[in-house]
Structure 1
Amino acid sequence: MSKLFTITALKNLKQTGSLFRSSKKLANQLVKPLGADKKLTVVELGAGDGVITKPILDKIGINSCLHSFEINLSFIPKLKSIKDNRLTIHNTCVSNLSTIFAENKVDFVISCLPLANIEYAFKKQLIDDIKFILKEGGSFIQYQYTKKDQELLKANFLEAKTTLCIKNIPPAFIYNCQN
């Protein structure tokens, strides 16, 4: 357990979505579709203290790149301690996705954002922006602790498969959505 994550979560649970950081098992399930066999552009939303960032970097190839978004300044020094030329840290709101990335340029978006805590209008715009930046056949991978947004995801993507990771506190539903 990360002391930094828990302290930060206690200050703003709505923003972090949980008191506990993601488990290694959850991280491994989130990055499972990634591969080192081709050049990938990956976007991570809500990087936190890097618990998912590191497994992403371990899974992608040397010519790939990872853009990690984190708005909470408490986590930025921890993310910056990850020394990897493939990593670009964005300390900005995810509402800027469609201005940072061109249409059809991203292979994977992996989101650790607490969607259930985000108001509908912002969430819908975020999904539209993700669809805009994803390549055809690209994947949006999101996890949640409830199925609250399952229908929203299914309505916005061609395919939305759901799996459950029980080895996480709390257990998490993982959505793998195809553009």
Structure 2
Amino acid sequence: MLQQLTDRLKFLGAFVANPRQVGAVLPTSRTAVRDMLDLADVPGANLVVELGAGTGAQTQEVLARMKPGARLVTFEIDPRLAKLLDERFDDPRVQVVCDSAENLDAHLGEAKADVIVSALPYTSLEQRLRQRILDVLPGALAADGSVVVIQYSPLMLADFRRRFATVTYRITPWNVPPAWLFSCRGPVAD
């Protein structure tokens, strides 16, 4: 309970320091994270990428579902939160990257993600940055992979549909505010 309160305070501090970058006052609920991860085959993945790790609410749930020998590359742009993640997750499967998600390719090299988990606040990001991040996602994904995204509105649906052949969504009302969960697969054919 104390760790949860500490995490909430650290997350709130990151929000106050840079609200557009963080996008939410509190970390996503565990129920919403679990609902989002149910939309992807995390247990079967060899490489999972997490965008916007925050204090690790998603990271913890991803690791609980990952098989031994799989790899998790988790991106967090806030240096204080990235340091917290690095200290918290002493797991050989985890690589914490303190960088923008737009540089995903530079950190993956030739590898392709089986699952990309995104908690980035897309609607809060500056438009050009948002487009650069969204544009890199289809190319970073394995052919049969999926991108799962949590948002607090349906506003990103059209952007996802421009980039992915299949986009499904559902709402989880157990988060405050209720969360929109998206699952995106296959790049749009040229």
Is the TM-score greater than 0.5?
Answer: yes
1:109 is matched with 116
- Contact 1:39–1:63, Cα closer than 8 Å, also in 2: no
The RMSD of aligned alpha carbons is 1.5
Residue number among 77, 84, 87 corresponding to 1:78 in the alignment: 84
1:68 is matched with 74
Cα offset, 1:59, TM superposition:
0.4
1:28 is matched with 34
- Contact 2:42–2:62, Cα closer than 8 Å, also in 1: no
C-alpha separation between the residues in 2 aligned to 1:92 and 1:153?
A: 22
Cα offset, 1:176, TM superposition:
0.3
Q: CA 1:151–1:39 in structure 2 vs 1: closer, same or farther (change >3 Å)?
A: closer
Structure 2, unmatched stretches of 5+, are none
Residue number among 130, 136, 156 corresponding to 1:129 in the alignment: 136
Aligned length: 178
2:57 is matched with 51
Residue number among 147, 157, 160 corresponding to 2:164 in the alignment: 157
C-alpha separation between the residues in 1 aligned to 2:107 and 2:184?
A: 22
Q: Is the partner of 2:79 in helix, strand or coil? A: coil
C-alpha separation between the residues in 2 aligned to 1:141 and 1:178?
A: 9
C-alpha separation between the residues in 2 aligned to 1:71 and 1:107?
A: 22
Cα offset, 1:48, TM superposition:
0.5
Residue number among 105, 117, 121 corresponding to 1:98 in the alignment: 105
Q: Is the partner of 2:146 in helix, strand or coil? A: strand
Q: Report which stretch shifted further, 122-131 or 108-117.
A: 122-131
Which amino acid is 1:66 matched to?
L
CA offsets 1:149-170 (integer angstroms, 9 cap, x no match): 1111112101000111111111
2:150 is matched with 143
Q: Report which stretch shifted further, 143-152 or 52-61.
A: 143-152
Structure 1, unmatched stretches of 5+, are none
Q: CA 1:75–1:137 in structure 2 vs 1: closer, same or farther (change >3 Å)?
A: same
Cα offset, 1:77, TM superposition:
2.8
Q: Percent identity?
A: 24
Q: Is the partner of 1:55 in helix, strand or coil? A: helix
Residue number among 13, 19, 26 corresponding to 2:25 in the alignment: 19
Cα offset, 1:121, TM superposition:
2.5
C-alpha separation between the residues in 2 aligned to 1:8 and 1:67?
A: 21
Which amino acid is 1:144 matched to?
Q
Which amino acid is 1:116 matched to?
T
